[in-house]
Amino acid sequence: MAESHHDHPHDHTHDHAHDSGGHVHGLTRGGELAGVSDSRLLWAVALNQLLTVGQVIAGIFSGSVALLSDAAHNFNDANALLIAYIARRISRRDANQRYTFGYRRAELIGATINLTSLGLIGMFLIYEGIRHFIEPQEIVGWLMASAAGLALIIDVGTAVLLWSMSQGSINVRAAFVHNLVDALGSLAVLLGAAAVIWWDWTWIDPLLTLIIAGYVLWQVATMLPQAARILMEGAPHDFDFDAMVSAVQAVPAVEGAHHFHLWELDEQRTALEAHVVIAKSNARDLEAIKQTLKELLQHEFGIEHSTLEFEFSDHDCPDNHDCY
């Protein structure tokens, strides 16, 4: 009878329980906000949501589509902060019998919903921008400028909040830069309002709308495929699969390997399952071979969680045509 060795029970329980207890590093700033306290983070969310409401009202009454575009972008940023907060709370739960991988993908589900709605908003803004080019509308410049100025103050204030709370953190610095980009968008709308007030350049409003909408859709096109790939349990897009297989098969005492299944647990962690073939004469060294392979996979390819099933070279596969 063919013999095999499974390391599933121990590795699954150990790795998943520890991984699920950490912070979620996702597409919507989960990792970037790890050092921010919950209460202050909620204040930032509340301010940005109130700003969004104010910008929408001002955009409707002023006739500025650019202001509505900036409101849509700011609404997405506020949702991203809220999703990060909720996901961080959920991610603290331990893995259990129902969710053996833990709750690490909660943020990805929220991000997918958020990005999908943002994509629809972006396409609508492009439609509105083109329509306002064809049919120019009267714009109340001072109202547009007031809302843009308030948005600029809140964007800069949010950036300062994140930066001052977590200096020395690369992830929070990334959030800081993102808020500066938001501030630049508000500054662009403010300058557009000045052009409307002083020179009556109403065409600049739909132009800014198209620019902001293009940036929003670029964000969606960049992040949505990544979220979908992780939810579909795909391999990392830049992973050298063939190099990994060759490295595993090149380990001394390994005679072959097959049934490779590689997927992303979340944005930061990759998992692997594989069958490894060794000679029966090396059975007593099985644990050492397994440890060598696990260290290789972790250090050379960044795979922290690997589940390896061992087979002897004289073992026949149940479905021979599916072995490799």
pLDDT per residue, tens digit, the chain (324 aa), is 344 444 443 343 334 333 433 333 334 444 445 555 667 667 777 887 888 888 889 888 888 888 887 787 777 777 766 776 776 677 678 888 888 877 877 777 877 877 887 788 789 888 888 988 888 878 888 888 888 888 888 888 777 776 665 454 443 454 555 566 677 778 888 888 898 899 888 888 889 888 888 887 887 888 888 888 988 989 988 899 999 999 999 999 999 999 999 998 877 789 999 999 999 999 899 999 999 999 999 999 999 899 999 999 865 555 444 443
**Half-sphere exposure (Cβ direction) of 168: Cα atoms closer than 13 Å:** 1
What's residue 66's pLDDT? 81
Q: Which domains does the chain have, with CATH numbers?
A: 17-231 (1.20.1510), 236-322 (3.30.70.1350)
What's residue 243's pLDDT? 95
On whether the CB atoms of residues 48 and 129 are closer than 8 A, the answer is: no
What's residue 187's pLDDT? 85
Phi, psi at residue 3, to the nearest 5°? -115, 150
In sequence order, what are the residues at sequence separation of 6 or more whose Cβ sits closer than 8 angstroms to the Cβ of residue 207? 129, 133, 192
| 270-278 and 303-312 strand pairing | parallel
On whether the CB atoms of residues 71 and 52 are closer than 8 A, the answer is: yes
Q: Taking the model in full, what pTM does it have? A: 0.66
**Half-sphere exposure (Cβ direction) of 269: Cα atoms closer than 13 Å:** 20
Taken in order 9, 12, 14, 17, the sign of the CA dihedral is negative
On whether the CB atoms of residues 190 and 154 are closer than 8 A, the answer is: no
On whether the CB atoms of residues 182 and 190 are closer than 8 A, the answer is: no
Please report, for residues 33, 200, 305, the alpha-carbon distance to residue 52 in angstroms, rounded to integers and kept in the order given.
Answer: 21, 26, 42
Structure tokens at 298: 């972790």
